[in-house]
Amino acid sequence: MKNALLRVWRGEESLFVTFWLWLVLGGLIVSLPQTMLMLAGYSFPADAFVQAYAFCLYRLCVLAFQFVVSVGLWRAAGLDGIDWPDKFWRLGARVVALATIGGVIGVGFVETAVRIYMVSMSLL
């Protein structure tokens, strides 16, 4: 698994494999527990600091996975020596990679950092 993720990070996997298997399917699988908790409307009890921290750690791992796969998608969608219309799909994949990285950094990490801060402040 580690070697496969390293191949994705380097952009050595095909665009198809990186996008559909790693970004879409892999993203669904690693995000499933988080999604299920959110859909169920679960909130941690006030004294459940360990669970809240564990969830934040899990969320950071999901964000790191998404970041690694998005960078790999960018690299797999290289445009050198590619003719149209394949270049169109590669440009689209790069837009998806940028949007995912922007979401991970702009929303994901910031939101998780705020949650960790809020849980820490409630300990005082």
pLDDT tens figures, 59-76: 888 889 999 999 999 999
What is the value of pTM for the model shown?
0.80
Say if residues 74 and 94 touch (Cβ distance below 8 Å): yes
Q: How far apart are CA 12 and CA 7, in angstroms?
A: 5
pLDDT tens figures, 1-43: 679 999 999 999 999 999 999 999 999 999 888 778 777 766 6
Per DSSP, 116 falls in state H
Q: How far apart are CA 26 and CA 45, in angstroms?
A: 30
Domain boundaries, the chain: 2-123
Which residue type is seen at 31?
S
pLDDT tens figures, 37-48: 777 766 666 566
Q: How far apart are CA 31 and CA 48, in angstroms?
A: 22
